[in-house]
């Protein structure tokens, strides 16, 4: 434990304080897991605030007189603003205090969520959706890199999987909670409550969040933007992960954006039930899969770090045919079964995604890489949400959902290709970069 905590900043020795705490209370209060648990709650609130919007589309459409395309646009402007800001958020997280960025993001997005509950017009709502994307973009690159800073290869998969559990549960909680409140108190009430909770959590963050140990390679100074980009463009495995994330984001955001309305229109569920049904199977199954997938990922990595990509590829291949059930216009029980199975198998693979990224990208560049991945994934998701609004009129959501099978099959093929031809060299290069103590040696590796 001393090695893990010696580099933590603080007015007193964080390592000594942690040792004293552990002696008094036991290992469950390990500082790195306290941080991970807090970020799990923050991540849940992050996605709860996003998902709350999709569960109130029906009353929102009625009050403002919006078309399906307009509803899709409101979902897309959030994703596109998030996408545009994500690369800059990643660069900031590689150059600034990651713990402070997490707290700032939490404060800003909670304030925007609170204001969303007070808006009365379409223009103001669009501005707030854009603002939410900008505020939330700061969180993900900083939080993932912060967890990776505190956890090594032996626990990184479990820690990041636990964080993903928070994301997935947040979607269910946010959509269900906002839908139930909308039934009784109007669609604005859920945003007011979620925003208030976020402001409280932002204040509590100063007691749990701290930057990770200072890595030797960061001693000469923070990496330059050009240096980070120069490294990333020479990592073929990063391109594979980027493309996979875009394809998955395109599909998942279609489900997140339109599934509650699908249940309301096809099975005549009320707002609370539609919001719950539209997220519960999708996210709870993914939560279970991601949690189990984190353990599988760490176990696979003991046979070699590259095995993480093989896990993702196999899971995506297995998940790809499940959604074809929508071609038959299934009843409610078949929809529940197919979405649950698809989400669980996909989640098993997602448990390896972020740990794999940390294996192929050195620590100084991870937030930049995550920011770029967020940008392209959410941009693709925005296209998917808006495109589904157009396709819904002519083809229906059943056909839109069924087409996701082909997308996941294509992603699986790409992953197998990257595993076979690019991954070993990329991992070796990242290891060599982190082991190099001399800036000149790192520059040489960056130009190789």
Q: Is the pLDDT of residue 83 over 90?
A: no
- pLDDT the model gives residue 324: 92
pLDDT at 218: 42
Residues 368 and 90: beta-carbon distance below 8 Å: yes
How much is the pLDDT for 406?
A: 92
Give the highest mean pLDDT range of 204-208, 315-319, 432-436. Answer: 315-319
Higher per-residue pLDDT: 297 or 389: 297
Confidence of residue 235 (pLDDT cuts 50, 70, 90): very high
Closest CA to 367 of 89, 124, 132: 89
pLDDT at 270: 72
Dihedral sign for Cα atoms in the order 10, 12, 15, 18 = negative
- Mean pLDDT value of segment 35-42: 90
Domains along the chain?
Answer: 31-211+219-447 (1.20.1250.20)
Query: pLDDT, tens digit, for every residue of 196-216?
Result: 999 999 999 888 888 876 443
Residue 275's pLDDT band (boundaries 50, 70, 90)?
A: low
Mean pLDDT of the chain: 81
> How do residues 363-416 score in pLDDT, each as one tens digit?
888 888 888 888 888 888 878 877 887 787 778 888 888 988 999 999 999 999
Lowest mean pLDDT across 36-45, 333-342, 437-446: 437-446
């Amino acid at each position: 434990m001393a090695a893990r905590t010696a580099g933590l900043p603080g007015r007193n020795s964080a390592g000594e304080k942690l040792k004293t705490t552990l002696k008094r209370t036991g290992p469950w209060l390990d500082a790195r897991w306290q941080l991970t648990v807090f970020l799990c709650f923050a991540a849940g609130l992050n996605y709860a605030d996003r998902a709350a919007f999709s569960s109130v589309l029906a009353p929102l459409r009625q009050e403002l007189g919006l078309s399906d395309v307009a509803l899709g646009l409101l979902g897309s402007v959030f994703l596109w603003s998030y996408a545009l800001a994500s690369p800059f958020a990643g660069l900031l997280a590689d150059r600034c205090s990651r713990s402070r960025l997490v707290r700032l993001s939490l404060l800003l997005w909670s304030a925007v969520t609170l204001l969303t509950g007070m808006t009365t017009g379409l223009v103001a709502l669009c501005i707030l959706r854009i603002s939410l994307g900008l505020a939330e973009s700061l969180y993900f690159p900083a939080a993932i890199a912060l967890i990776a800073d505190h956890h090594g290869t032996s626990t990184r998969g479990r820690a990041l999987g636990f964080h993903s559990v928070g994301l997935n549960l947040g979607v269910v909680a946010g959509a269900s909670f906002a839908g139930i409140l909308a039934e009784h108190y109007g669609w604005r009430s859920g945003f007011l409550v979620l925003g208030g909770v976020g402001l409280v959590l932002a204040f509590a963050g100063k007691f749990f969040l701290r930057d990770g140990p200072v890595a030797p390679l960061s001693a000469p100074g923070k990496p330059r933007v050009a240096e980070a980009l120069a490294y990333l463009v020479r990592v073929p495995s990063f391109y594979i992960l980027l493309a996979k994330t875009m394809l998955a984001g395109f599909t998942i955001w279609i489900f997140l954006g339109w599934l509650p309305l699908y249940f309301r229109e096809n099975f005549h569920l009320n707002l609370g039930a539609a919001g719950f049904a539209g997220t519960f199977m999708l996210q709870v199954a993914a939560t279970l899969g991601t949690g189990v997938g984190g353990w599988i990922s760490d176990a696979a990595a003991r046979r070699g770090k590259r095995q993480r990509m093989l896990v993702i590829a196999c899971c995506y291949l297995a998940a790809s045919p499940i959604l074809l059930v929508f071609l038959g216009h299934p009843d409610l029980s078949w929809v529940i079964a197919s979405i649950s199975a698809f989400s669980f198998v996909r989640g098993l693979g997602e448990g390896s995604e972020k740990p794999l990224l940390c294996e192929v990208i050195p620590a100084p560049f991870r937030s930049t890489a995550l920011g770029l991945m967020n940008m392209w994934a959410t941009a693709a998701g925005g296209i998917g949400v808006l495109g589904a609004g157009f396709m819904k009129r002519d083809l229906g959501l059943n056909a839109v959902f069924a087409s996701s099978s082909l997308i996941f099959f294509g992603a699986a093929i790409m992953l197998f290709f990257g595993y076979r031809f690019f991954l070993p060299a990329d991992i070796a290069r990242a290891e060599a970069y982190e082991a190099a103590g001399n800036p000149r040696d790192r520059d040489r590796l960056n130009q190789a």
